Amino acid sequence: MSNSKKWYTLDLGPNKRKSPSGTCGCGHSQGNCKDKSQEQKEEELSADEFYERAVNAAIGDERKKDGFEQVFDVKMDRRDAFKKLTASLLIGAGAVSSCTSVLKDDASKEKAQIDWEEQFKGNYKLMTDEEKKSTVDRLMRSYELRTGKNISMSSKNAEEDVLFGYAFNISKCQGYMNCVSACVEENNQDRSSQMQYIRIHEMEDGKGFNFNEADDNYYHEVPAEGHFYLGTQCFHCDNPPCVDVCPVQATWKEEDGLVVIDYDWCVGCRYCMAACPYDGRRFNWSKPEVPENEINKNQHYLGNRMRKKGVMEKCTFCVQRSRNGKNPACVEACPTGARIFGNLLDPNSTIRWVLEHKKVFRLKEDLGTEPKFWYFMD
C-alpha cells in the first residue's frame, strides 16, 4: 500500500477496536483468537447506539453551539468537511432507519420520510412550479401529522402586470397601532417577544423626522398633543441592498416587487439586517411561539408560515393576501385610512392616484434603493 494514501475512519467512541501490529486483525495477539461469532456479539451495537456514536464522533461539539456559532465557526479542513457530511448522511439515515425499525406505525414512517425530504430540498427560488407545490404539500402534511389539524399553504407565484406599492398618509395616522396588532396576528409572529414587523414612531412637531429621538414604545393615550406619527416596515426596495449581501441567496426580489425570504435556506448570518438602511428586518433569537388556537392557517410559503429559530423575518406586504387580490392586514386594520396599497401598474388604482396627485417622498432617497413605500400629507 502506498504511503501517500490517507485513509479516514469514523471514531465511534472509546470502545472502538484497534488491531495491534502482528495480529490477525481480530483485536487479540496471535494464538489468542476468540470465536468470531462471540466477538461480533460483544461488539454488536443497536441501530440507535450506532447512530448516536457516529453523530457524536463527527459533530459532538457542534451540538452545544447555538446558531450564531455554527454560522461563524467556519474553520474546516477536508477531513472535518468529510466528517460533517458523513454525520449529515447518518442523521438522515437515522431518521429513515428509526421509522422502519423502531417506529412501527405508518404515520411515523411518513413523518420521517417528510423530514428526510425537507432536509435535502433546494432553494425555493430555483424550484419549478411542480417542485414548489410538492414542497408546500409536504409541509401541510407534516403539520397534520404533528398536530392532527390542517392548514392551507400556497405557492402562488407573482402575476404579470402587477407591481405592488404602498403609501402612508402622515396627516391621518393617529398612533393607534391597530396595524401592528393585525400584522402580528396575520403573520404568525412570535407572541413572547416584541419583534413586530411594523413600527410606529411618535415624533415631536417641528423637529422633522428625527428617528433618534422618536418614541417607538409609547404607552399613553393617543394622539399625543404636539406630536405626529410615522410608520416604517420593509419598503420592498427596487434596488434592495439586503439581497446583494446575502451569501446564500436566501432573499430575493420577485416579479411583483415583493422582497421575500426562504426561511429554510436562511443561515441567520444577519448580513441583510445590517445592510437594510430602514431597519426593516427582524431576527428571531428564539423559536416563535404562537398559541395553537391563534395560528393563522391561511399561509404562503414565502410569507406567514411558521418559522424556525435563528432566521430572518420581515414584512412581505402579506403575500398570502396581496397575491389573492386582498389588501395587507395593516391596511384593512387602520381605522383612519392612513395606509394605501395597490398595483403601481394599474392606472386606476388608488396608489397611482396618490403618486400622481399628492406631493410624495421616500426616506433616504439619496441611497438609490428606490423603496416602493411613499409618504405624503394632506
Give the cell for residue 44: 454488536
Higher pLDDT, 283 or 16: 283
Asked if residue 256 belongs to a domain, the reply is yes
Asked if residue 362 belongs to a domain, the reply is yes
The model's pTM is 0.73
Q: At what angle do helices 78-101 and 106-119 cross, to 10 degrees?
A: 160
Q: What is the mean pLDDT of residues 356-371?
A: 97
* Cα–Cα distance for residue pair 330/233, rounded to 1 Å: 11
pLDDT digits (tens, 9 = 90+) for 104-118: 578 788 888 888 888
Do 261 and 206 share a structural domain? yes
pLDDT digits (tens, 9 = 90+) for 14-41: 443 444 444 454 545 445 554 544 544 4
CATH number of the CATH domain containing 231: 3.30.70.20
Q: What is residue 272's predicted lDDT score, i.e. its pLDDT?
A: 98
Do 281 and 188 share a structural domain? yes
* Cα–Cα distance for residue pair 245/48, rounded to 1 Å: 41
Task: Point out the least confidently predicted range of 114-118, 163-167, 360-364.
Answer: 114-118
CA atoms within 13 A on the CB side of 174: 9
Angle, CA of 233, 297 and 191, to the nearest 5°? 50
* Cα–Cα distance for residue pair 313/308, rounded to 1 Å: 10
* Cα–Cα distance for residue pair 1/57, rounded to 1 Å: 27
* Cα–Cα distance for residue pair 141/151, rounded to 1 Å: 9
Check whether 329 has a pLDDT greater than 70. Answer: yes
Q: Which H or E element spans position 109?
A: helix 106-119
Query: What confidence category does residue 119 fall into, taking pLDDT thresholds of 50, 70 and 90?
Result: confident
Asked if residue 52 belongs to a domain, the reply is yes
Q: Are 338 and 220 in contact (CB under 8 A)?
A: no
Task: Point out the least confidently predicted range of 53-62, 271-280, 283-292, 308-317.
Answer: 53-62
Q: Is 221 helix (H, G, I), strand (E, B) or coil?
A: coil
Containing domain of residue 321, as a range?
164-376
